[in-house]
Amino acid sequence: MSHTAELIAVGTELLLGSIANTDAQMISQGLSELGINVYYHTVVGDNPERVRQAVDIARNRADILITTGGLGPTCDDLTKVAIAEAFGKKLVFHEPSAQRIRDRFAAMERPVTENNYQQAMLPEGCTVLDNDWGTAPGVAFEADGTHVIMLPGPPRECEMMFRHRAMPYLQALSDGVIASRTVKTFGIGESAAEALLRDLMNALHNPTLAPYAKPTGTELRITAHAPTREEALALIAPVEQQVKEILGDRVIGVDVNSLEEVCLALLKEKGLTLGTAESCTGGLIAKLITDLPGSSAVLKGGVVSYTDSVKAGVLGVPQDLLDQYGAVSPQVAEAMARGAKQVLGCDIAVSATGIAGPDSDDRGNPVGLVYLGLAYEDQCVVKEFHAGKVARERVRRMSAHTALDLVRRYLTGLL
């Protein structure tokens, strides 16, 4: 049976534009994985009357209602009260939830104020969704053919509660389980990936294959529905193999988050250390790697050589190379990488020098032209990269990712 869900976010801060409704995005992705249709999102303020109206409209056009926000003491558990009223449910005291609240406050060494116990008042007969990431418990129940799920609003809490509590509840509404695997790529756009995979996508029903454009590269999500997780994964495996064959070396991994994560894992596996020499990216490559816990095991350090004097003085780039070819040149990219490898004492060094914009340089190099170097052993490769005339932020991001991809390609023998 096919389900239709509607999301209602409760929070005046959304209507004032203080925050974007990222909860709705996250939940929509999950519902899409579960094969549940979403026709509407609604945002409403901290106003009982208008929450009630939004619920009444939603229950007439969807059989699954998921609310976010409006739980917890600061908003008087507004959503819970409005939903209970709309579905004619009494709120009753739930001792285990009260105990969890007591335990939580005890752990923080703070007294429980009386309004916190309001959070233990839950619709009679509901399924309590324990909240391990905050204080307000989530709630799920079925009434008059509508499934209602209430989740807290803060994005991380909402995501954990949705992934670990609401998704299993929703999965139980359908027979069988849904599993998915995501093939992550770099260097191929969504429409190009779609063109290469169109025949495969059209031929598939279970599993399905769908492309998602992400700032860091296109993702291909393969989702299967089967009686057990093992059977679902068995359906996915051959499709994953086909996708990998079609997209070739543009595939950076499966169920991985980022290029830097892939690089970090490869460096650890091979016991190699990395260093960076950055001009146009200005520290971004090092920043991306050090975003990851455990990066200190592989990143020796980096030099942001934003001026010629630092390129020459710290990295040892010969002044005559800078004079003859300019800072944005393959010669300087190579000297930066080789210099960083030596100065930082690392096994591999990656460099970036280019024009991030908005203006081109004295030599008339165009915005978006970037040279990337990779020094290893006594070798160095240089790649010329054209980001195109895009925003500064985008030139820098694309350059940093292309530099990381160079590291990945070296470490996987693709260089």
DSSP class of residue 117 equals G
CA 197/CA 201 separation, integer angstroms: 6
Burial 388-408 (b: 16+ CB within 10 A, else e): eeeebeebbbbbbbbbbbbbb
Question: Binders of a second copy among 254-283, rule CB under 8 A?
Answer: 276, 278, 281-283
Among residues 137 and 211, whose Cβ is nearest to a second copy?
Answer: 211
CB of 156 to a second copy, least distance (A): 9
| 343 in contact with a second copy (CB under 8 A) | yes
Comparing CA positions, the residue from 85, 77, 86, 7 lying closest to residue 44 is 7
Pairing mode, strands 177-185 and 4-10: unpaired
Among residues 120 and 261, whose Cβ is nearest to a second copy?
Answer: 261
The only residue of 124, 230, 291, 320 in contact with a second copy, by rule CB under 8 A: 291
CA 23/CA 381 separation, integer angstroms: 44
Binding mask 355-394 for a second copy (x = CB under 8 A): -xxxx--------------------------------xx-
Binding mask 298-337 for a second copy (x = CB under 8 A): -xxxxxxxxx-xx--xx-----------------------
Task: Record the tokens describing residue 278, joined without a space.
Answer: 């950055």
Among residues 185 and 305, whose Cβ is nearest to a second copy?
Answer: 305
Among residues 132 and 230, whose Cβ is nearest to a second copy?
Answer: 132
Check if the beta carbon of residue 345 is closer than 8 Å to that of residue 300: yes
- Class of residue 96 by CB neighbours under 10 A (exposed 0-12, middle 13-18, buried 19+): exposed
CB of 9 to a second copy, least distance (A): 8
Among residues 73 and 282, whose Cβ is nearest to a second copy?
Answer: 282
| 212 in contact with a second copy (CB under 8 A) | yes
Max CA-CA distance within the chain?
82
The only residue of 92, 213, 237, 390 in contact with a second copy, by rule CB under 8 A: 213
CB of 208 to a second copy, least distance (A): 12
Only one of the segments 130-138, 143-151, 165-173, 352-360 lies at the binding site for a second copy (rule: CB under 8 A); that segment is 352-360
**Is the sign of the CA dihedral 307, 308, 309, 315 positive or negative?**
positive
Question: Binders of a second copy among 6-35, rule CB under 8 A?
Answer: 14-22, 24-32
CB of 392 to a second copy, least distance (A): 6
Among residues 123 and 217, whose Cβ is nearest to a second copy?
Answer: 217
Task: Record the tokens describing residue 254, joined without a space.
Answer: 């499966």
DSSP class of residue 165 equals I
Comparing CA positions, the residue from 352, 306, 315 lying closest to residue 333 is 352
Question: Binding residues for a second copy, how many (CB under 8 A)?
Answer: 70
| 1 in contact with a second copy (CB under 8 A) | no
CA 384/CA 373 separation, integer angstroms: 9
How many DSSP H helices and E strands does the chain contain? 15, 17
**Is the sign of the CA dihedral 313, 316, 319, 325 positive or negative?**
negative
| 41 in contact with a second copy (CB under 8 A) | yes
CA 30/CA 64 separation, integer angstroms: 14
CB of 234 to a second copy, least distance (A): 26
Only one of the segments 98-106, 141-149, 173-181, 284-292 lies at the binding site for a second copy (rule: CB under 8 A); that segment is 284-292
| 295 in contact with a second copy (CB under 8 A) | yes
Among residues 239 and 346, whose Cβ is nearest to a second copy?
Answer: 346
CA 37/CA 379 separation, integer angstroms: 54
Q: In the block, which residue shows the tokens 């991985």?
A: 256
CB of 53 to a second copy, least distance (A): 8
Q: In the block, which residue shows the tokens 């007439």?
A: 60
161 to 14, 127, 129, 151: CA distances (angstroms): 20, 13, 8, 7
Among residues 32 and 127, whose Cβ is nearest to a second copy?
Answer: 32
Give φ, ψ of 243 to 5 degrees. -60, -45
The only residue of 10, 34, 38, 352 in contact with a second copy, by rule CB under 8 A: 38
Binding residues vs a second copy (CB under 8 A): 14-22, 24-32, 38-45, 47, 50, 54, 57, 212-213, 276, 278, 281-287, 289-291, 293, 295-296, 299-307, 309-310, 313-314, 343-345, 356-359, 392-393, 396
